[in-house]
Amino acid sequence: MTKMTSSTSERIGSIKSRLHLPAICAPMFLVTGPDMVISACKSGVLGTFPATNARTEEQLVSWLDQISTSITKADAPWALNMITHNSYGRFDSELDLVRQYRPELVITALGGPHRVTDVVHGYGGLVFADVNSPKFARKAIEKGADGLVLICAGAGGHTGEYAMIPFVEEVRTFFDGPIIVGGGIGTGRGIKAVEALGVDFAYLGTRFLACQESLINDEYRQMVWDSKMEDLIASRAITGALGNWMRASVEAAGLTEEAMKAVAKIDFSQDMHAGTKAWKHVWSAGQGVGLVNAPETVADVVETLVRQYST
């Protein structure tokens, strides 16, 4: 059993004390930008974004400046999500920016956390690793992660195959550190439910997907409002990682059922924003998509979550 250190426990307690409820506005590829992060933090939930959402390094610096100057100690903290896959070409420059801007949490994805731990621990931050199986959870712990993000069945663009309850329970047999869990959570009741499992934070992505502050276009937003969980297709054909994709966008892109059975090669060495990339035209959502059906701001969503959580 890997035990949580007292310093990690203290830092998690400090983060929780600044939240209105134990929830995180999850980082969503090509969806989450600085406006969503700032709105989340000022509404009382932890805001995050993937560094790769910034088209250029210059834009990433601009976003980090905007976030770091807008969020105060009275607000919820913010976190940065980083791709640590060996093919990702911007990794070194993004790690330099982590060293400069010092997010309290860095969440690694599609690669090991060991590539960032020295830098993040050097300024007192915490590293969480995004994992979708007990096997990868064990590896992340071995490679120095302070906490885990368990991506369960029901999540969106990067999903898992394991049901939430047994996944959490199995991980708790070998790890008693901080856990974030995501996959279909979209209400305050859902947040309370994962707390009962002994989870520290709920990861909500799709619930915020169509918010006013989102980077998505109006067509994507309308498709989210119109979709239900049965309108999703789970496939590795788009990014190489398993994701849930909205059927209407799959059909609009001309992809057949057979094409969606393919497994794409995971490769982040090229321009992630290129119009030729499949994920620019095929849009993801998690199984909680049926809860999103009207225009809202991040603050509106958080207010609803707090009310549900409190009753």
Do residues 79 and 48 make contact, with C-beta atoms less than 8 angstroms apart? yes
Nearest to 202 by CA among 26, 14, 27: 26
Give pLDDT, residue 265. Answer: 83
pTM greater than the 0.75 cutoff: yes
d(CA 140, CA 137) in angstroms, rounded, equals 5
Contact 20, 45 (CB under 8 A): yes
The token pair at 275 is: 């119009």
Give the CA count within 13 Å in the CB-facing half-sphere of 175: 27
Residue 98 to residue 57: CA distance in whole angstroms: 12
Determine how many CB atoms are found less than 10 A away from the CB of residue 7: 12
pLDDT 10s digits, 37-63: 999 999 999 999 999 999 999 999 999
Pairing mode, strands 243-246 and 232-235:
antiparallel
Closest CA to 41 of 3, 76, 88: 76
Give the type of residue at 173. T
Span 204-217, average pLDDT: 98
The mean pLDDT value for 180-199 works out to: 98
Alpha carbon distance 128, 84 (integer Å): 12
Mean pLDDT confidence for 142-171 = 97
Cβ atoms < 10 Å from Cβ of 306: 18
Question: Which residue from 144, 159, 46 is spatially nearest to 110, judged by alpha carbons?
Answer: 159
For 6-214+294-310, which CATH superfamily applies?
Aldolase class I (3.20.20.70)
pLDDT tens-place string over residues 242-266:
999 999 999 999 999 899 999 988 7
pLDDT tier at 276, thresholds 50, 70, 90: very low
- Per-residue pLDDT averaged across 184-194, rounded? 98
Asked if residue 286 lies in contact with residue 244, where contact means CB atoms within 8 angstroms, the answer is: yes
pLDDT (average), residues 197-223: 98
Taking every pair of Cα atoms in the chain, the longest distance, rounded to a whole number of angstroms, is 53
CA 118, CA 127: separation in Å to the nearest integer? 10
Where along the chain do its domains lie? 6-214+294-310, 218-289
Contact 52, 83 (CB under 8 A): yes
Look over the chain and give the mean of its residue pLDDT values, rounded to a whole number. Answer: 95
Q: Give the burial class of 143: count Cβ atoms within 10 A of its Cβ; 0-12 exposed, 13-18 middle, 19 or more buried.
A: middle
**Contact 15/21 with Cβ under 8 angstroms?**
no
What angle (nearest 5°) sits at the alpha carbon of residue 308, between those of residues 304 and 311? 140
Residues of the chain above pLDDT 70, percent: 96
